Structure 1
């Protein structure tokens, strides 16, 4: 869809620099990044028109862009949230040298006017809550690992200061308690948000409670994807292949998706390579071809993700014999 005007936004913690572009001229304006005032400031700075004629484009900036994007979406405006890496490459393509907030806003507006973008839609509120709980769990588990490593380092000495020992022990106990609390909260949320989908995911050998919860929280019910390849690409589990230059013939992961979910699926692949019949067959076949174990496990993680997509789309539990039954039926019919 071609919009009459595009508003590019360079968002910081406390302020927003914006630029409206109609294909010919830029109109620059700025306002505080405060939920109570930014909608009024935005509407004051753009001509009165049908919201469907205006597109707002902004970079993904952690949590700073989220309130603005959600508010504009709820008011009926079209919003696009773009990966900053894409904007950076677009600037390099145009040979841009200067980098200021105003020029960045103009560049984002120009990108949105001439390039095709994917429109933003906020997560369902409960899926967002699950995501918040998962981020908290991930942070706490990292802190637990760090504390254990620090405590282990002190054991190299003959004597450990009792105050230091007690502090580390107390912190570890508090973190363990917090982890159990968040795990219980994640279980409560997912049982309310998508109980059927949760059980479908658990029917896949290798996907456990944590992985199933993360898939539903971060990817919701995968409704916006039409193929399993799209999910793998979105999450950064699809191989990126070079057919030219010094890297010709090489392949690597794009790693452009959510790193936390990729780590969980990699860990799930360790289990699936033994317990999931299709994943085990894939893993052993790749090892027989001489592929490194890590490469084979990443392929298994990709397959697990596609299996998850398949059970959510079909609404049927995972059946390890499905492909064999399907092929046998085709032979009979032909």
Structure 2
């Protein structure tokens, strides 16, 4: 019996999903349809799929569902269960990929139905590049389920920062002297003081005896605060007093909620072997290790360290066309929260880890600015995290030094291999042209020079690709 492939594209919405079923010739086998996200809707999907398998048992079903922030999970889990009974492969599709397919198809309008068709088109055209998920019956990765908690924590942190920014503007207008205590963030003791005594007049009336009852306020600090309040001449009416009271109350509640979440996460995950492994890396504490694992979820998703680096947007990105080269910078694609976390880890590491300190000094000595150098360190930190998680061994700077020495020994051979590969690729791409065609081709002086260098030089690839003197435009 002839083997057949079908591609099921799914666009999930709240309470229902749109389905598009397409064959290998990119034709819809039937009109698009909708099913509700209920038991009866799931059962109806099973009946539809079973109908196709009864007509051709050798058939393969490729199912893809666009990631929509949570509404897709019920459908994906059900498809994985069906994959145990039928010859099916299911995958979660990045929305950016679906958007690219839509642009290529020149779609002027986007609907749920067209999104489902775009998912099916992506499955049909790139089925070999997709990483399919499997329901192997094993226990769920605890860090996958903890990601919902992490999302909630990020939301609370964002709300707290918004409220603190708002409060800072109010204090600046009505009690600006107090801002000297907020140079490194708003301390909890000041929030509690303003919550109980919102205006400068209230602080003066309270006096030292009442202020020192607040945790974090010493007698000296209370006296300083009273002196600043006495010098204040900014007006503060009842509306502002009420606003300061309610805003500080909300911030205190948010900060307590964040502390409770961190305490729960530490209790839940601190003894996990992966958390202990990551905590051995200089600059990575237990809570940071937990949050990194929430971002990574499962290190086995990444076959190489380059894929992990690209996933979090720390890979270099550039464009070369003709004589021009543009945009040599970090791609910054993927989850920005991971990059922010790595940045803070590296700030600590450059003070405490000799290897990171040496790397930072090396690039600063080359004339690179702080943020360029921190990008290099973040890339290095992520490679260290990958190595620790993949090997299952604690971080050891001696091992890292040995690995770098081995890489340095092989570097010359690697560069020569790259250069040889470039030459072979050039010969292959220009196999229909004569050997000296560049002598008569209307190419630029810069391009002609680089071609001759490539043919005669023993220098590494950087001599050709990373030349800084090249023009910025064609």
TM-score (norm 1): 0.88
Task: Assess if the C-alpha contact under 8 Å between 1:6 and 1:55 holds in 2.
Answer: yes
Partner of 1:53: 60
Larger radius of gyration: 2
Deviation at 1:208, TM superposition (A): 1.9
Counterparts of 2:243 and 2:99, CA distance in 1: 47
Counterparts of 1:245 and 1:133, CA distance in 2: 49
Deviation at 1:211, TM superposition (A): 2.2
Deviation at 1:241, TM superposition (A): 2.0
Counterparts of 1:47-126 in structure 2 under 5 Å? 47-49=51-53, 53-76=60-83, 77-115=88-126, 116=128, 117-120=130-133, 124=140, 126=142
Q: Please, which moves more after superposition, 290-299 or 84-93? A: 84-93
Counterparts of 1:175-214 in structure 2 under 5 Å? 175-191=254-270, 195-214=272-291
Task: Assess if the C-alpha contact under 8 Å between 1:17 and 1:101 holds in 2.
Answer: yes
Q: Deviations over 1:105-141 (max 9, x none)?
A: 2232122112132213589352133212222221111
Partner of 2:20: 19
Counterparts of 1:310-329 in structure 2 under 5 Å? 310-325=387-402, 327=405
Counterparts of 1:135 and 1:142, CA distance in 2: 11
Q: Deviations over 1:81-124 (max 9, x none)?
A: 22222222223334444543333322321221121322135893
Task: Assess if the C-alpha contact under 8 Å between 1:5 and 1:20 holds in 2.
Answer: yes
Partner of 1:167: 246
Give the 3-state SS of the residue equivalent to 1:75 in structure 2. Answer: helix
Q: 1:124 to 1:253 in 2, by over 3 A?
A: farther
Deviation at 1:216, TM superposition (A): 1.5
Give the 3-state SS of the residue equivalent to 1:273 in structure 2. Answer: helix
Counterparts of 1:6 and 1:189, CA distance in 2: 40
Counterparts of 1:247-258 in structure 2 under 5 Å? 248-258=325-335
Q: 1:145 to 1:323 in 2, by over 3 A?
A: closer
Q: 1:196 to 1:147 in 2, by over 3 A?
A: same
Partner of 2:313: 236
Deviation at 1:245, TM superposition (A): 6.5
Partner of 1:151: 167
Task: Assess if the C-alpha contact under 8 Å between 1:35 and 1:68 holds in 2.
Answer: no
Counterparts of 1:36 and 1:4, CA distance in 2: 27
Unaligned runs of 5+ in 1: none
Deviation at 1:296, TM superposition (A): 1.1
Counterparts of 2:297 and 2:100, CA distance in 1: 29
Task: Assess if the C-alpha contact under 8 Å between 1:52 and 1:78 holds in 2.
Answer: no
Q: For CA contacts below 8 A with separation 6 or more, give which structure has more relative contact order.
A: 1
Counterparts of 1:256 and 1:44, CA distance in 2: 40
Q: Deviations over 1:167-220 (max 9, x none)?
A: 12221221122111100121122236xx22111111111112232111222213
Q: Deviations over 1:50-92 (max 9, x none)?
A: 6971111122211121221122113214212222222222233
Q: 1:324 to 1:262 in 2, by over 3 A?
A: closer
Counterparts of 1:245 and 1:190, CA distance in 2: 52
Give the 3-state SS of the residue equivalent to 2:8 in structure 1. Answer: strand
Counterparts of 2:304 and 2:92, CA distance in 1: 22
Length, aligned pairs only: 327
Give the 3-state SS of the residue equivalent to 2:17 in structure 1. Answer: strand
Partner of 1:5: 6
Deviation at 1:23, TM superposition (A): 2.1
Q: 1:52 to 1:202 in 2, by over 3 A?
A: farther
1:139 aligned onto 2:150 = no
Deviation at 1:308, TM superposition (A): 0.9
Task: Assess if the C-alpha contact under 8 Å between 1:15 and 1:30 holds in 2.
Answer: no
